[in-house]
Amino acid sequence: MKIELDMHTHTLASGHAFSTLQEMARAGAEKGLKLLGITEHTPGIPGTCDPIYFRNYHVVPRQMYGIELMLGAEINILDSEGNIDADEELMKRLDIRIAGLHVLCYQHGTKEENTYGMVKAIRNPYIQIISHPGDGTALLHFEPMVLASKECGTLLEINNSSLKPTRNKVDARDNNREILRLCKQYEVPVILGSDAHISFDIANYEYLYSLLQETEFPEELIVNRCVEVFKKCLKKI
């Protein structure tokens, strides 16, 4: 399968990543991508960007080294009510809006409560992608999330970084397999995400391909295969 885009990556600005924005753009272009998303962490993660960083995105060209850039944020879902750490004014300034759970700033509830919060985030009119829903940060029921994704057009990400052995996310493989199974059953598109924190990892989906094969997941439901397909599927703000 040809890959044309990667929408979940981080630069030095996120505080725990290792490449500059220009290094990331150049690497994406060298890998043959047509579109790259830069999605820095919002303030719930220690050491990341102050909101003023996102307000200054306007100075950055959206074409660089022959690749299109979309500049956005990976926003933190904070609790089982689906509250997030980005306000409407900030989100309006972003080209792309991802939201996910992170152990450093998430207040856990029961499995049912966590699922309720995730569904609320999926239904948030500004959130376009849910990052690493299967990484095991919180116990979740995946079927209501997949059905909400289908209804609202918020893409669920299948995250490569979560599956790296060094991450020790013991439930990630089974969780992502279940998400893929449900998305196949309900014909819901997904997006693959590298979650690259260094330029070498852009569009690195090596740990995902075996899951796609195991589930016989339809290529036509993977939006990374075509920029036009991705933009058509992307929730409009």
Q: Which domains does the chain have, with CATH numbers?
A: 5-233 (3.20.20.140)
Q: Six-digit token pair at 135?
A: 């990484």
Q: Six-digit token pair at 142?
A: 């995946």
Task: Give the pLDDT confidence score for residue 140 in this predicted structure.
Answer: 98
Mean pLDDT value across residues 47-71: 97
Task: Give the pLDDT confidence score for residue 80 in this predicted structure.
Answer: 96
Q: What is the pLDDT of residues 176-192, one digit of tens each?
A: 999 999 999 999 999 99
Q: What is the pLDDT of residues 90-134, one digit of tens each?
A: 999 999 999 999 999 999 999 999 999 999 999 999 999 999 999
Task: Give the pLDDT confidence score for residue 237 in this predicted structure.
Answer: 84
Give rounded-to-5 percent helix, strand, coil for the chain.
Answer: 40, 20, 45
Continuous H helices in 75-171:
88-92, 111-123, 142-152
Alpha-carbon distances of 210 from 115, 182, 206, 207, rounded to whole Å: 27, 17, 8, 7
pLDDT at 47 over 90: yes
Q: Residue 100 and residue 85: Cα distance in Å, rounded?
A: 11
Whole-structure pTM over 0.95, yes or no? yes
Mean pLDDT value across residues 51-67: 98
